[in-house]
Amino acid sequence: MTQLPDSIEDSVISAILGGRLRPGTRLGEAKLAEVYGVSRTRVREAMMRLETRGIVHVSARRGWFVVEPSATEARAAFQARRVIETGMLRDLHTLPGDAVAHLRAHVEEEREALHTGHVGSRTCLLGDFHIHLAHAFGNAFLTDILRDLTARTTLVSMLYQSDQDAAASSDDHAGIVTLLADGDYAGAARLMDEHIRRVEDGLDLAAAPDPLAGLREILSPGAPA
């Protein structure tokens, strides 16, 4: 496999997970090519791959944009995650020996990020928990699928979630890990279902995506004239 296009993809995705790239942001081929020091060809490859994964989309002869999930898509993305993650836990019968320890350590990281308050790494870690869980389950396909779905739900949260209750999410994660440690996989599945539903219900899907987000930032008080 080529090396650099993958790196562009990962770079974009981690920027989304970290909240540095918002829905609707334009990704110009020329600009990206300069940033990564490659030609447009490679950038286009990466963009088309990301498009297939549902992370960006192209508007003909206008450019590439980070997707802005509609209310319908937002619901569907969370539902998909719920179906897959609970299905995974329900199918679970054994877990690798070190999995619980890893997950516990991860939750501990979340806790720290909550206190230090860095919103980017916090969001990123909260999403990563689910990916790590999928990894522990041991199915590479499901892990990849959930990675992309998590990126999507992160974008959804940026659009529709006014105040992300990160502490509650982290508590849910901790509870899930505890149940897993006890071998209560059905219980973990139930809690996961509640957990994702809770996040989903916290969304304000009536809030239309704000096409002026970029402008607003620039015009906010304190910005240079």
Q: Which residues bind a second copy (CB under 8 A)?
A: 1, 45, 48-49, 51-54, 58, 73, 76-77, 79-80, 82-84, 86-88, 90-91, 139-142, 145, 149, 152
The site partner of 38 among DNA, a second copy, none (C-beta below 5 to 8 Å per kind) is: DNA
Give the tokens for residue 144.
């990849």
How far apart, in whole angstroms, are the C-alpha atoms of residue 125 and residue 169? Answer: 11
Minimum CB separation of residue 52 from DNA in Å reads 14
The binder of 218, among a second copy, DNA, none, by C-beta within 5 to 8 A per type, is none
Q: Between 29 and 85, name the residue whose CB sits nearer to DNA.
A: 29
- Determine the size of the site formed for DNA (CB under 7 A): 19
% helix / strand / coil in the chain, to the nearest 5?
70, 5, 25
The answer to whether 160 and 204 have CB atoms below 8 angstroms apart is: yes
**Least Cβ distance, residue 124 to DNA (angstroms):** 26
Name which of residues 41 to 100 contact DNA (CB under 7 A): 41-42, 44, 58, 60-64
H or E element: which one contains 189? Answer: helix 185-201
How would you class 150 by CB atoms within 10 Å of its CB: exposed for 0-12, middle for 13-18, buried for 19 or more? buried
Interaction partner, residue 28 (a second copy, DNA, none; CB < 5-8 Å by kind): DNA
Determine if 145 is a binding residue for DNA (CB under 7 A).
no
CB-neighbour burial class of residue 191 (10 A; exposed 0-12, middle 13-18, buried 19+): buried
Query: Which DSSP letter does residue 54 get?
Result: T
For residue 22, the tally of other CB atoms under 10 A from its CB is 17
With respect to a second copy, which residue has the nearer C-beta, 47 or 107?
47
Q: Answer with the entry of a second copy, DNA, none that 53 interacts with (C-beta below 5 to 8 A by kind).
A: a second copy
Entry field: residues in the chain: 225
| Residue 167 tokens, joined | 């502490």
Residue 128, amino acid: D
Residue 187 binds DNA (CB under 7 A)? no
Q: Which of DNA, a second copy, none sits in contact with 83, Cβ below 5 to 8 A by type?
A: a second copy
Which residues are near DNA by CB under 7 A?
Answer: 2, 4-5, 27-30, 38-42, 44, 58, 60-64
